[in-house]
């Protein structure tokens, strides 16, 4: 181990995972952390993110079964909301170095953490880097499943993401603004019922983090790591795709109200292509089925954008619990819409 190497805290928010998936995940996480620990001092912090006592028991059992004396594991607890969990990990970590956050429902190769670390060490101009997501074969079935598989097989040919991807990313340090409920310049108006739940602050972590990072460090502060991949399960159905699309649009409306100084960033940096251009690119580069899937997604986002801006629907419609900074069970995934 290089004594001059920057240490790393690996943080994982846990909420709805079952016993079997946690057992497999903990072993996969330990393998990836061991490779990183051979290069630099590493710790692993789990945060029970508003989880039930049953989920807590599952995690404790998985860690006991692993019984790995070479890795430092810590278990914390936080209120619901992944941003809250990340903040708890950042405040209570033992090592003062890079922070690597990874979702508890993704699959990855054992060398992934090392890839992110080496990239961030090499690129002094980058503040945060992330792994690309790769969809597992659709379980939706029928025609929707065929469209979905065609879209994800070809997405790399026409779809470039500018936001940080929240499934697995590493940053140099925690930024206090990540955990702020709203901008110092914003005064929230008291409402008997606020369908957007603005009083709860940001909810979708990667969208909020991306805007904060670009505002503070510039548009080149976020980068994707070549060949770094995590795998996830895409939406199970048309209804779930709508929930994911709706979640993205609802959070954009919320973030524009909570942090108005970041609003221009969304249009100048992150919105690279219009919906029509995305559809045309998908058709020209990948064919009819991927373009049809993009059309469906764009239609859903247009509807949800209209409803969110006019306060015509609540966050619950986007699969977000209206009383907490959390998403309802998966049914419970990060948004797959880019």
Report all structural domains of the chain as residue ranges with CATH numbers, in order of start.
8-236 (3.90.550.10)
Q: What own/partner pairs with CB < 8 Å and gap ≥ 24 does 24-29 have?
A: 25/62, 25/104, 25/105, 26/59, 26/62, 26/63, 26/65, 26/66, 27/66, 28/107, 28/108, 28/110, 29/102
Instruction: Cite the DSSP H helix spans in the chain.
Output: 19-37, 53-66, 82-92, 112-122, 142-154, 205-217, 238-258, 263-265, 275-286, 288-309
Using DSSP, state whether 42 is helix, strand or coil. Answer: strand
Residues in the chain: 338
Provide the edge-to-edge strand list for the sheet that holds 72-78.
Answer: 72-78, 42-49, 8-14, 98-102, 168-171, 128-135, 222-232, 107-108
The C-alpha atoms of residue 209 and residue 97 are separated, in whole angstroms, by 18
**Predicted local distance difference test score (pLDDT) of residue 321:** 63
pTM here is: 0.89
Q: 98: phi > 0 → left, psi -120 to 50 → alpha, else beta; which?
A: beta
Mean pLDDT (the chain) is 86
Is residue 284 classed exposed, middle or buried when 0-12, 13-18 and 19+ CB atoms within 10 A define those classes? Answer: exposed
Contact 157, 105 (CB under 8 A): no
The C-alpha atoms of residue 137 and residue 149 are separated, in whole angstroms, by 6
Q: In this predicted model, what pLDDT tens digit does every residue of 240-297 receive, in sequence order?
A: 888 888 888 889 999 999 999 999 998 888 875 677 888 888 888 889 999 999 899 8
Neighbours of 267 (CB within 10 A): 8
Contact 226, 298 (CB under 8 A): no
Residue 148: both structure tokens together = 């979905």
The C-alpha atoms of residue 219 and residue 18 are separated, in whole angstroms, by 38
Using DSSP, state whether 175 is helix, strand or coil. Answer: coil
Mean pLDDT for each consecutive 10-residue tract of the chain (338 residues)? 84 90 93 94 93 88 85 90 94 96 94 97 96 84 86 79 88 95 86 78 93 94 93 86 86 93 89 76 88 90 86 77 49 37
Owner of token pair 């990060």: 334
Contact 322, 316 (CB under 8 A): yes
């Amino acid at each position: 181990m290089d004594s001059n190497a920057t240490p790393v805290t690996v943080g994982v928010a846990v909420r709805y995972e079952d016993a079997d998936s946690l057992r497999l995940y903990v072993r996969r996480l330990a393998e990836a952390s061991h490779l990183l620990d051979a290069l630099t001092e590493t710790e692993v912090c789990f945060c029970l993110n508003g989880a039930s006592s049953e989920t807590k028991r599952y995690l404790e059992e998985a860690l006991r079964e692993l019984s790995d004396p070479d890795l430092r594991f810590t278990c914390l607890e936080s209120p619901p909301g992944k941003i809250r969990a990340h903040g708890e990990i950042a405040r209570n970590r033992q090592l003062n170095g890079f922070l690597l956050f990874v979702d508890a429902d993704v699959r990855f190769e054992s060398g992934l953490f090392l890839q992110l670390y080496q990239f961030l060490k090499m690129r002094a101009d980058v503040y945060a880097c992330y792994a690309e997501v790769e969809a597992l074969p659709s379980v939706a079935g029928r025609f929707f499943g065929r469209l979905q598989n065609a879209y994800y097989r070809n997405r790399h040919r026409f779809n470039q993401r500018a936001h940080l991807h929240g499934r697995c990313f590493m940053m140099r340090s925690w930024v206090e603004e990540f955990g702020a409920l709203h901008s110092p310049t914003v005064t929230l108006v008291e409402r008997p019922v606020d369908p957007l739940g603005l009083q709860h602050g940001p909810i979708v972590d990667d969208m909020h983090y991306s805007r904060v990072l670009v505002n503070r460090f510039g548009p080149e502060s976020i980068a994707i790591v070549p060949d770094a991949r995590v795998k996830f399960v895409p939406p199970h159905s048309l209804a779930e795709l709508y929930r994911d699309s709706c979640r993205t649009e609802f959070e954009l409306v919320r973030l524009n109200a909570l942090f108005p100084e970041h609003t221009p960033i969304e249009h100048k940096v992150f919105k690279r292509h219009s919906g029509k251009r995305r559809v045309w690119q998908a058709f020209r580069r990948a064919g009819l089925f991927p373009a049809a899937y993009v059309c469906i997604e764009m239609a859903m986002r247009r509807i949800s954008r209209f409803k969110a801006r006019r306060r015509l629907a609540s966050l619950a419609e986007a699969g977000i619990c209206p009383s907490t900074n959390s998403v309802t069970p998966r049914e419970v995934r990060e948004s797959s819409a880019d």
